[in-house]
Amino acid sequence: MSEAVWRVLAARGFGGLTLRAVAAEMNASTGLLTHYFPSKKALIAYALDVADERTATRPQELPPKPGMDGLRTALTNVLPLTPEAAAMNRVWVSSWDGSLADPELGTRERNRYEGWRARLRPHVVAAIDNGDLPPETDVDELVATVAAFTHGIVVQALFDPGRFPAARQKALLDGLLHALQAGH
Protein backbone atom coordinates (compact mmCIF):
# COMPACT_ATOMS: atom_id res chain seq x y z
CA MET A 1 0.00 0.00 0.00
CA SER A 2 2.61 2.54 1.06
CA GLU A 3 4.69 1.38 -1.89
CA ALA A 4 1.91 2.19 -4.34
CA VAL A 5 1.25 5.56 -2.77
CA TRP A 6 4.91 6.43 -2.95
CA ARG A 7 5.16 5.40 -6.60
CA VAL A 8 2.24 7.66 -7.49
CA LEU A 9 3.76 10.48 -5.47
CA ALA A 10 7.14 10.10 -7.14
CA ALA A 11 5.65 9.86 -10.62
CA ARG A 12 2.98 12.53 -10.48
CA GLY A 13 3.47 14.52 -7.30
CA PHE A 14 0.81 15.41 -4.79
CA GLY A 15 -1.22 17.10 -7.48
CA GLY A 16 -1.55 13.76 -9.27
CA LEU A 17 -2.42 11.74 -6.20
CA THR A 18 -5.86 10.21 -6.82
CA LEU A 19 -7.69 7.20 -5.46
CA ARG A 20 -7.74 5.54 -8.85
CA ALA A 21 -4.08 6.16 -9.52
CA VAL A 22 -3.15 4.45 -6.27
CA ALA A 23 -5.63 1.63 -6.88
CA ALA A 24 -4.24 1.03 -10.37
CA GLU A 25 -0.70 1.08 -9.00
CA MET A 26 -1.53 -1.85 -6.72
CA ASN A 27 -3.85 -3.61 -9.17
CA ALA A 28 -6.79 -3.17 -6.86
CA SER A 29 -10.14 -1.42 -6.92
CA THR A 30 -11.17 1.96 -5.63
CA GLY A 31 -13.28 0.09 -3.07
CA LEU A 32 -10.10 -1.06 -1.37
CA LEU A 33 -8.96 2.53 -1.02
CA THR A 34 -12.26 3.78 0.33
CA HIS A 35 -12.32 0.86 2.71
CA TYR A 36 -9.15 2.08 4.38
CA PHE A 37 -9.55 5.81 3.85
CA PRO A 38 -12.83 7.51 4.74
CA SER A 39 -11.99 10.45 2.50
CA LYS A 40 -9.48 11.94 0.13
CA LYS A 41 -8.03 14.03 2.91
CA ALA A 42 -7.28 10.83 4.80
CA LEU A 43 -5.42 9.54 1.76
CA ILE A 44 -3.39 12.74 1.59
CA ALA A 45 -2.63 12.49 5.30
CA TYR A 46 -1.49 8.93 4.81
CA ALA A 47 0.61 9.95 1.82
CA LEU A 48 2.29 12.56 3.99
CA ASP A 49 2.88 9.85 6.58
CA VAL A 50 4.46 7.69 3.91
CA ALA A 51 6.65 10.56 2.79
CA ASP A 52 7.58 11.26 6.39
CA GLU A 53 8.57 7.67 6.97
CA ARG A 54 10.54 7.36 3.73
CA THR A 55 12.30 10.56 4.70
CA ALA A 56 13.09 9.30 8.18
CA THR A 57 14.34 5.90 7.05
CA ARG A 58 16.22 7.03 3.95
CA PRO A 59 19.87 6.09 3.71
CA GLN A 60 21.82 8.74 5.50
CA GLU A 61 25.44 9.48 6.00
CA LEU A 62 26.10 9.30 9.72
CA PRO A 63 27.56 12.39 11.35
CA PRO A 64 31.27 11.65 11.85
CA LYS A 65 31.49 13.73 15.01
CA PRO A 66 29.45 16.43 16.73
CA GLY A 67 29.98 20.02 15.71
CA MET A 68 30.44 21.62 12.33
CA ASP A 69 31.03 18.32 10.56
CA GLY A 70 27.86 16.92 12.04
CA LEU A 71 25.90 19.93 10.86
CA ARG A 72 27.39 19.64 7.39
CA THR A 73 26.44 15.97 7.23
CA ALA A 74 22.90 16.63 8.46
CA LEU A 75 22.39 19.24 5.75
CA THR A 76 24.13 17.19 3.05
CA ASN A 77 21.69 14.38 3.77
CA VAL A 78 18.84 16.66 2.70
CA LEU A 79 20.28 17.75 -0.64
CA PRO A 80 19.14 16.04 -3.88
CA LEU A 81 22.52 14.46 -4.54
CA THR A 82 21.10 11.18 -5.86
CA PRO A 83 18.06 10.42 -8.05
CA GLU A 84 16.30 8.96 -5.02
CA ALA A 85 16.98 12.04 -2.92
CA ALA A 86 15.83 14.22 -5.80
CA ALA A 87 12.58 12.28 -6.07
CA MET A 88 12.02 12.68 -2.37
CA ASN A 89 12.60 16.42 -2.51
CA ARG A 90 10.32 16.70 -5.53
CA VAL A 91 7.56 15.07 -3.55
CA TRP A 92 7.97 17.47 -0.66
CA VAL A 93 8.10 20.55 -2.85
CA SER A 94 5.02 19.37 -4.70
CA SER A 95 3.24 19.00 -1.36
CA TRP A 96 3.63 22.71 -0.68
CA ASP A 97 0.89 23.64 -3.15
CA GLY A 98 -1.78 21.85 -1.14
CA SER A 99 -0.19 22.79 2.18
CA LEU A 100 -0.43 26.47 1.34
CA ALA A 101 -4.09 26.13 0.35
CA ASP A 102 -5.29 23.96 3.24
CA PRO A 103 -4.76 25.38 6.75
CA GLU A 104 -4.62 21.93 8.31
CA LEU A 105 -1.87 20.80 5.97
CA GLY A 106 -0.17 24.14 6.44
CA THR A 107 0.04 23.54 10.16
CA ARG A 108 1.45 20.12 9.54
CA GLU A 109 4.16 21.50 7.28
CA ARG A 110 4.98 24.18 9.82
CA ASN A 111 5.45 21.49 12.47
CA ARG A 112 7.61 19.54 10.09
CA TYR A 113 9.85 22.54 9.64
CA GLU A 114 9.93 23.04 13.38
CA GLY A 115 11.01 19.44 13.87
CA TRP A 116 13.74 19.74 11.29
CA ARG A 117 15.14 22.87 12.88
CA ALA A 118 14.98 21.20 16.30
CA ARG A 119 17.02 18.31 14.91
CA LEU A 120 19.56 20.72 13.47
CA ARG A 121 19.89 22.65 16.71
CA PRO A 122 22.14 20.24 18.67
CA HIS A 123 24.65 20.29 15.86
CA VAL A 124 24.86 24.04 16.03
CA VAL A 125 25.19 23.95 19.81
CA ALA A 126 27.96 21.40 19.52
CA ALA A 127 29.69 23.51 16.89
CA ILE A 128 29.67 26.44 19.29
CA ASP A 129 30.98 24.27 22.12
CA ASN A 130 33.72 23.01 19.84
CA GLY A 131 34.72 26.54 19.02
CA ASP A 132 33.80 26.06 15.37
CA LEU A 133 31.29 28.86 15.71
CA PRO A 134 31.72 32.07 17.70
CA PRO A 135 30.26 31.82 21.24
CA GLU A 136 27.99 34.82 20.68
CA THR A 137 26.19 33.00 17.85
CA ASP A 138 22.38 33.14 18.05
CA VAL A 139 21.53 29.46 17.73
CA ASP A 140 17.98 29.82 16.42
CA GLU A 141 19.02 32.38 13.85
CA LEU A 142 21.82 30.21 12.59
CA VAL A 143 19.60 27.16 12.42
CA ALA A 144 16.97 29.04 10.42
CA THR A 145 19.70 30.34 8.15
CA VAL A 146 21.23 26.99 7.26
CA ALA A 147 17.79 25.43 6.88
CA ALA A 148 16.75 28.22 4.53
CA PHE A 149 19.93 27.93 2.52
CA THR A 150 19.62 24.17 2.20
CA HIS A 151 16.05 24.19 0.99
CA GLY A 152 16.88 27.04 -1.37
CA ILE A 153 19.59 24.90 -2.91
CA VAL A 154 17.14 22.01 -3.09
CA VAL A 155 14.66 24.02 -5.13
CA GLN A 156 17.26 25.47 -7.47
CA ALA A 157 18.82 22.04 -7.99
CA LEU A 158 15.45 20.44 -8.72
CA PHE A 159 14.74 22.92 -11.49
CA ASP A 160 18.26 23.03 -12.86
CA PRO A 161 20.06 19.76 -12.09
CA GLY A 162 22.53 20.45 -14.89
CA ARG A 163 23.71 23.64 -13.26
CA PHE A 164 23.60 22.20 -9.75
CA PRO A 165 25.32 18.82 -9.82
CA ALA A 166 26.07 17.05 -6.55
CA ALA A 167 29.61 18.40 -6.37
CA ARG A 168 28.48 22.00 -6.67
CA GLN A 169 25.73 21.57 -4.11
CA LYS A 170 28.27 20.28 -1.63
CA ALA A 171 30.72 23.03 -2.53
CA LEU A 172 28.04 25.65 -1.99
CA LEU A 173 27.20 24.18 1.40
CA ASP A 174 30.86 24.08 2.35
CA GLY A 175 31.19 27.69 1.27
CA LEU A 176 28.30 28.79 3.41
CA LEU A 177 29.43 26.92 6.50
CA HIS A 178 32.92 28.29 6.05
CA ALA A 179 31.57 31.82 5.84
CA LEU A 180 29.49 31.31 8.98
CA GLN A 181 32.56 30.33 10.96
CA ALA A 182 33.89 33.86 10.43
CA GLY A 183 36.97 33.28 12.59
CA HIS A 184 37.73 29.94 10.87
Partner DNA sequence: AGGTGCGTACCGAACGTTTGTTACGTACTA
Partner DNA sequence: TAGTACGTAACAAACGTTCGGTACGCACCT
Smaller CB separation from DNA, 49 or 61: 49
DSSP-H helix ranges across the chain? 2-12, 19-25, 30-36, 40-56, 68-76, 83-101, 103-129, 139-159, 166-181
Residue 45 as a binder of DNA (CB under 7 A): the answer is no
Residue 109 contact, options DNA, a copy of itself, none, Cβ 5-8 Å cut-off depending on partner type: a copy of itself
Q: Which is nearer to a copy of itself, 45 or 87 (CB)?
A: 87
Residues 6+ apart with CB under 8 A from 89: 78, 80, 154, 158
Considering only 7, 10, 13, 19, the residue that binds DNA (CB under 7 A) is: 19
Rounded to whole angstroms, the Cα distance separating 149 from 102 reads: 26
Give which of DNA, a copy of itself, none residue 175 binds (C-beta under 5 to 8 Å, depending on kind): a copy of itself
In terms of CB distance, is 37 or 149 closer to a copy of itself? 149
Whole-number Cα distances in Å, 70 to 15, 74, 84, 159: 35, 6, 22, 28
Q: Least distance in Å: CB of 160 to a copy of itself?
A: 5
Can residue 33 be called a binding residue for DNA (CB under 7 A)? Answer: yes
In the chain, what is the greatest distance between 2 CA atoms, to the nearest angstrom? 62
Give how many residues touch DNA by CB under 7 A.
18
Footprint of DNA on this chain (CB under 7 A)?
A: 17-21, 28-36, 38-41
